[in-house]
C-alpha cells in the first residue's frame, strides 16, 4: 500500500525549484520561481501550488526538462519565508 507522501510526489521525480527576490513592487515583495522538471504533469501541478503568474516557459532538449518561470507577490519577506519553508518541494534560494 502506498503512503500519502508517495501519492503526492511521483516516484523518482525531484524537481528543481530556484527562487529569488526581485525587490519591492507597490508595497509588496516580488519573488521569481524557476521550476525545472522532466514531467509536464508535475510542472503544471507545482505551478498551481505556487499561486503566481507564469511569466515564461521553455524546454531544454538536452536534459529533456520543462522550465517555467513564475512571479508571485508577498506582503512581507517573512510571508515568503514561511511559504518557502512549508512548500511540499525543496526550494533553492538565490541571494
Q: List the grid coordinates of 78.
A: 517573512
Print the domain residue range for 50: 4-93
pLDDT score at 14: 87
Q: List the grid coordinates of 30.
A: 516580488
Instruction: Compute mean pLDDT per 10 residues along the chain, 95 residues long, and list them.
Output: 46 85 95 95 93 93 94 97 95 91
- The structural domain count of the chain equals 1
Q: List the grid coordinates of 92.
A: 533553492
Q: Name the pTM for this structure.
A: 0.83
Amino acid at each position: 500500500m502506498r503512503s500519502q507522501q508517495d501519492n503526492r510526489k511521483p516516484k523518482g521525480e525531484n524537481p528543481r525549484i530556484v527562487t529569488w527576490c526581485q525587490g519591492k513592487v507597490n508595497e509588496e515583495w516580488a519573488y521569481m520561481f524557476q521550476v525545472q522538471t522532466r514531467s509536464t504533469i508535475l510542472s503544471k501541478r507545482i505551478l498551481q501550488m505556487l499561486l503566481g503568474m507564469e511569466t515564461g516557459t521553455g524546454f531544454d532538449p538536452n536534459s529533456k526538462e520543462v522550465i517555467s518561470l513564475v512571479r508571485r507577490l508577498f506582503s512581507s519577506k517573512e510571508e515568503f519565508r514561511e511559504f518557502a519553508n512549508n512548500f511540499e518541494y525543496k526550494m533553492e534560494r538565490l541571494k
